[in-house]
Amino acid sequence: MTVNQSLDKIQAEEFSRRLQDVLAETGKVIVGQREMMEGLLMGLVTGGHILLEGVPGLAKTLAVSTLARTVDTEFRRIQFTPDLLPADITGTTIYNRETGEFKVKQGPVFSNIILADEINRAPAKVQSALLEAMQERQVTIGGETFPLADPFLVLATQNPIEQEGTYPLPEAQVDRFLLKLKIGYPTREEERTILERMAGKAVPEVAKVVDPAGIRSMRAAVNAVFVDEKIKSYIIDIVFASRDPEAAGLDLAPLIAWGASPRATLALTQLARARALMQGRAFVIPEDVKTVGHDVLRHRILITYEAEAENLTSDDIVSALLDNVAVP
């Protein structure tokens, strides 16, 4: 399937079944966390990188490694620390004494799925090296440029409760993540299931449901999901309301320092398409946009000190936007 081909109902339902198979397989290991797994899968089929925020012990690392095993791709985990160097991620040149030549040694970024664990623990140069690879999909080592794998997905985690010895990601770099997922605690019933399934036992095995070629066909299917002109206008209305709330008739101007960038418009569109496909539809409805709205916008809208003084978060602002912008 190419980008220009349209998607019919039968094709949409078939791709939806394949996506649900991936979720079902990861569910053998990951208890609950349905929204996180759906977000990871939507990022995979749209080619967008993901920032995961949650306290330790919520299975972020396990979720990413399980997804990699389910879709039959290479997986690398990079533990970010303050003494990490850019070359530790991208690679470097090594001198061979026998041949008298320099040889390129590729870093862990040369894989399909990269887990950047605690990305905010590394200094700015290291963060920039990874984010440049994310943006350009290539790495230059010793004057030679190497393309990265396809698919290539970076899943970065950060701990929101521990700020000592960390280097927060600049807003311009955070904007490069397609979506930001906030991971919460499991319910009491889910915690009991975790106890029964995992305590003193090996991690359950998962089957390979999709291969890289299958992922690429899913991406083509996402691009073929129909987006009506009214839905496009709705998405633009939401983004512009974050930049100029007064023009949209919203009393939010004192609470918003900076609105969402054009990347938010593109991200809302692509993720709404992915969500529609996951639901077995070949077209986007307003509910798709609302469902992905928080994950797309929470890290792209900067709030003012006044909003912080009122104990408001960017999620509160996003909720106000989604509740008040007219739905087509």
54 residue type, one letter: G
Short-list 231, 251, 232, 229, CA closest to 241: 251
How large a percentage of the chain has pLDDT more than 70? 94
The CATH number covering residue 131 comes to 3.40.50.300
Residues 45-90 pLDDT 10s: 888 889 888 777 667 778 888 888 888 888 888 888 888 888 888 8
Among 158, 186, 215, identify where a domain stops.
215
Q: Are residues 188 and 238 in the same domain?
A: no
Q: Are residues 292 and 149 in the same domain?
A: no
Contact by Cβ (8 Å): 122, 82: yes
Query: What pTM did the predictor assign?
Result: 0.85
For residue 225, the 8-state DSSP code is: S
- What pLDDT, on the 0 to 100 scale, is given for residue 320? 92
Q: Are residues 156 and 269 in the same domain?
A: no
Q: Are residues 283 and 241 in the same domain?
A: yes
pLDDT band at 161, cuts 50/70/90?
Answer: low
pLDDT band at 286, cuts 50/70/90?
Answer: very high
Give the residue numbers spanning the domain of 260: 226-324
pLDDT over 80 at 173, yes or no: no
Tell me how far apart the alpha carbons of residues 89 and 78 are, in angstroms, rounded to a whole number: 8
Size (the chain), residues: 328
In a domain, 220, yes or no: no
Q: Are residues 46 and 191 in the same domain?
A: yes
Q: Are residues 111 and 14 in the same domain?
A: yes
- What pLDDT, on the 0 to 100 scale, is given for residue 236? 95
Beta bridge partners of 91: 106
For residue 138, the 8-state DSSP code is: E
Q: Are residues 127 and 26 in the same domain?
A: yes
Among 215, 246, 280, identify where a domain stops.
215
The CATH number covering residue 275 comes to 1.10.8.80
Number of domains into which the chain is organized: 2
Q: What is the mean pLDDT of residues 247-262?
A: 88
In a domain, 221, yes or no: no
pLDDT over 60 at 107, yes or no: yes
pLDDT over 70 at 208, yes or no: yes
In a domain, 130, yes or no: yes
280: left (phi over 0), alpha (psi -120 to 50) or beta: left
